[in-house]
Structure 1
């Protein structure tokens, strides 16, 4: 296998890696490529996938017109080349890099790259004229949920990130910023550092995704500002007819034609608050978004381990009062011990070469050889404030968790420099990282799929969903990688299903398991907060109280705003009248 090409830098590409992480990223890519058995691409089985109800002649005419309406000569690309899955920092915008079905199942016909809001508006008007569906992406890095793949094959992907990737402003006094869709967490962090303001951003586990796109998909991070949409402030949106809308205080013009000075200070305006309608929907294309930044503060990360699998319920019940009283400083994580193996970056075969899920005794034996010893669960937390308040908070936390037999408390200084806790320190202090990509070495040609239900923070509900997911992973033969992100009253139970993209049988099993988990969880009252686009219809269908009242409401809004059904039909299960 040839040595992989250099990872693109942030200086050269909006989607690249910052200088401080270049060596780590290259080493990570090389390790992943050393396990790769698939070629970079294979010949396409089918020619260009045309949009629905569009002839080749009309498609050619439409693309010719679209090219003329955009400034850049290379602003439209036909998707007729071999499909390349690439790597995290070099993902495709033509299909899903982590395809859970056939690689060609969900492909676009072309990709358009607008360079301004006005060009986004022109693309929308063009789509209405030709009745060609368009599928906007910020950067297309929501890998595990469908990436850049359009829900309707043959749609034209509108890649906002390549040309619209500016941090428009950073307000140090107001601790806020305004960004375009192509601004990654890596880029925003670097820009904040250059500004010199003592501010933090909040980041998810891997920092390459779009700040704007993650918030619109209601993603989370791990500082006190971890609910990304809750900490947005102000949006600019191109509606499906090509008109432009601003929400919140941005809807009030500022003096002398400037933006309203309170746009990033107050989330609402006068009358109904509509920002939420543009999250996880296909009601508009968000071209600008404001965010609140966190003032820099002292902090202390820590880790608590628990020896027994059966202590899961006790751990959850210990977390709940601490979270509700806001003693816990951030959105902490509770992880299963198998992840201590996965984040080493070593392949599964280093630990076990048999079939089926990793046996518990193998996990225990393997874990016992690592610095934390024989454990079953790990809790990662971070406290914020001055030294006195952090000491007081940690005293309460230690006292509660000490009630669980065999629990052990660690500071980062207690563990070797290569331990995962040091990555958590960075992420929990707003520094974007790539350590989480180590999971992609678990299997050759590895990809992953998320199952993400919500459960109340109590032992009975959390144990019920954990048992359900564990049972189905055993049934379908997959290793279970649970990460519980705990926001107080609720838990995001994030299940990472890792599979080999080259193995059609394994992918089929993953799809079947996913479908069964969705239905089984819904029957117990647990629904996903976010899902892969292939399962969006099924998940949307589980939210059927009142005979599907919520979806009927969504469909009414969709048909009023987008009567031609051209904007991302099917995204999150919302279909226009003509395609439902």
Structure 2
């Protein structure tokens, strides 16, 4: 049965004509209008009614030419298109459009690895290439390169990079490792950024800037164009590695952990992204909540301490990797060990030095050596029932004072709404991603509503304290954008001016990051 939904401000006759034109452009099978077919574009983790973000149709072009043909029709009939690479961005909205009734432009059929350069250590991929796909591609060719996977390996390399995702190796800042894009603008024009602007360029994936202004970042977390090709730098396989885990007994250790860690990241003694995880986040990967506590409300400290003791973990747990020749890894390790020895009751667990072809002892550590997995989804079992989660993602300076302030605010407010603190910090040299997940049973309306209300309250509370979100679920995009309020929201005014210039019909992903949604406010 065909969906009864249609794009806002578009008549039924115009929508029918547009669908006919889309079928001519990309083929009948690539135009989805049935209720059953569109169900896969509903957000599986929606903090509320997933139908609030329903699509009216979905299109699956297989080439740049087909995208351009779709854009001709979308502009003619003013059809809003919500672009996804594979739609696996769960906890942030999945494949659902921000504006109900938009047509999803699903790029998963554009799934080619176009190039891997072993000498210069980069790949060029299309949007439908997942981390699993690229990993298998490298493996099949006995490549000397590692990729850097995010928490869930089924996601798109392009999509995760454009959302500024991150992983666990020294190449863990995915946006920083991007070099060179091909972008289709709303008018169908094809642009290549940086050195790719030269027709015969031989340096597209090795130098970002090119000549003149650099535009790559403009297409990240934006709706200014459709990225169809992307260069990503890959990590040359090191001689070997050592994976390290520190366990800290006291909840109050967080500040000194971060202050000890920061100089080690700044001077590159610790090369990789360093992850500081709360005991509950660690435990949710290997157990369920009712094994440790089955009461109402957030887990009390006594239950958390008993759980940590039984699992042999700390209240806070630090993990990172060291990479390179054995003598260099050993020297780095000694410096790190001395630094953390100053924290009372800190315990170190570290694998021995392993050559680069060796698998880690624990499967969950695979991401630290370039092996994607789906281990992160174990957290869905924490609360029981039909597990889901929605995430809070504030940026935090890497100081103990800031980390403690964010942690205490988030944990206290989560407890007010009946949620455990499932969270931690991914620490770079000059900033940290603080990720908190409100885990809920989506069949429980009370839990679902509480999860949404909690995230809304935290975005506002942290925003008032000067902490902005780097990414949010669809439901909170406008709220998160509103926190960036310097000079009466001058940044949003700039974004809207760029949007109006590049996409005057407002057809590309309206409402993304709060941009270009004014036409649909009603």
- Sort the TM-score into its range (normalised by shorter chain): over 0.9
In 2, Cα distance between equivalents of 1:201 and 1:69: 35
1:106 and 2:47 aligned: no
Q: 2:275 aligns with which of 333, 337, 343?
A: 333
Per-residue displacement from partner, 1:428-454 (whole Å, max 9, x unpaired)? 111111211111111211111110101
Query: In structure 2, what is the Cα distance between the partners aligned to 1:273 and 1:576?
Result: 26
Q: Does 1:569 align with 2:510?
A: yes
**Could you tell me which residue of structure 2 aligns to residue 434 of structure 1?**
374
The residue that corresponds to 2:9 in the other structure is 53
CA distance in 2 between partners of 1:103 and 1:543 (Å): 27
Mapped to 2, the partners of 1:340 and 1:530 lie a distance apart of 23
The alignment partner of 1:228 has SS state of coil
Listed as ranges, the matches of 1:20-419 within 5 Å are 47-70=3-26, 72-81=27-36, 92=40, 94-161=41-108, 163-254=109-200, 260-297=201-238, 298-344=240-286, 346-370=287-311, 372=312, 375-412=314-351
Distance 1:434 1:95 in 2: 20
CA contact (8 A) 1:79 1:108 kept: no
| Maintained 8 Å contact 2:99/2:520 | no
Distance (Å, rounded) in 1 between the aligned partners of 2:299 and 2:202: 56
Change (3 A) 1:495 1:577: closer
Secondary structure at 1:457 match in 2: coil
Give the drift of 1:56: 2.5
User: Counterparts in 2 of 1:7-22, with a 5 A limit?
Assistant: none
Secondary structure of 1:528's counterpart equals: coil
Q: Which secondary structure state, in structure 2, belongs to the residue aligned with residue 433 of structure 1?
A: coil
Offset at 1:50? 1.1
Query: Which region of structure 1 is more displaced relative to structure 2, 507-516 or 108-117?
Result: 507-516
SS at structure 2 position matched to 1:105 = helix
Structure 1 residue 197: Cα displacement: 2.4
Deviations 1:296-322 (A, max 9, x none): 001110100001111111111111111
**Count of aligned residue pairs for this structure pair:** 513
Q: CA deviation at 1:352?
A: 1.9
User: Structure 1 pair 226/82, CA: closer, same or farther in 2 (3 Å)?
Assistant: closer
Distance 1:129 1:430, change over 3 A: same
Query: Does the C-alpha gap of structure 1 residues 560 and 579 become closer, same or farther in structure 2, counting only changes over 3 Å?
Result: farther
Displacement of 1:365 in angstroms is: 1.4
Superposed counterparts of 1:451-462, under 5 Å: 451-462=392-403
| Correspondent of 1:528 among 457, 466, 469 | 469
- 1: CA distance between counterparts of 2:180 and 2:283? 42
Cα deviation for residue 55 of structure 1 reads 2.7
Q: 1:542 and 1:82 mapped to 2: Cα distance? A: 37
- Using a 3 Å threshold, how does the CA distance of structure 1 residues 384 and 424 change in structure 2: closer, same or farther? farther
- Give deviations 1:194-236, integer Å, cap 9, x for gaps: 2222111111122110000000000111111111111111100
Aligned equivalents of 1:221, 1:118: Cα separation in 2: 33
Report the alpha carbon displacement of residue 413 of structure 1 after superposing the two structures with TM.
Answer: 6.7
Q: What CA distance in whole angstroms lies between the structure 1 residues aligned with 2:390 and 2:318?
A: 23
CA contact (8 A) 1:113 1:158 kept: yes
**Distance (Å, rounded) in 1 between the aligned partners of 2:352 and 2:137:** 30
CA displacement 1:33-55 (0-9 Å, x = unmatched): xxxxxxxxxxx9x9532110123
Give the Cα separation in 2 of the matches to 1:216 and 1:333.
Answer: 22
- Contact kept? 1:499, 1:507, Cα under 8 Å: yes
TM-score by length of 2: 0.95
Q: Out of 362, 372, 379, which is 1:422 matched to?
A: 362
Partner of 1:492: 433
Distance in 2 separating the partners of 1:407 and 1:233: 40
CA distance in 2, matches of 1:369, 1:199: 39
C-alpha distance in 2 between matches for 1:308 and 1:166: 48
Unaligned stretches of 5+ in structure 1?
Answer: 1-43, 85-91, 255-259, 415-419
CA contact (8 A) 2:364 2:375 kept: no
TM-score (norm 1): 0.86
Query: Root-mean-square deviation (CA), in Å?
Result: 1.7
**In structure 1, C-alpha distance between the alignment counterparts of 2:519 and 2:373, rounded to whole Å:** 43
Unpaired runs of 5+ residues, structure 2, are 354-359
Which region of structure 1 is more displaced relative to structure 2, 487-496 or 349-358? 349-358
Query: 2: distance between equivalents of 1:291 and 1:427?
Result: 17
Q: Deviations over 1:250-298 (max 9, x none)?
A: 11011xxxxx221111112110001111000000000000111110001
Contact 1:48–1:79 (Cα < 8 Å) also in 2 = no
Contact (CA 8 Å) 1:303, 1:409: kept in 2 or not? yes
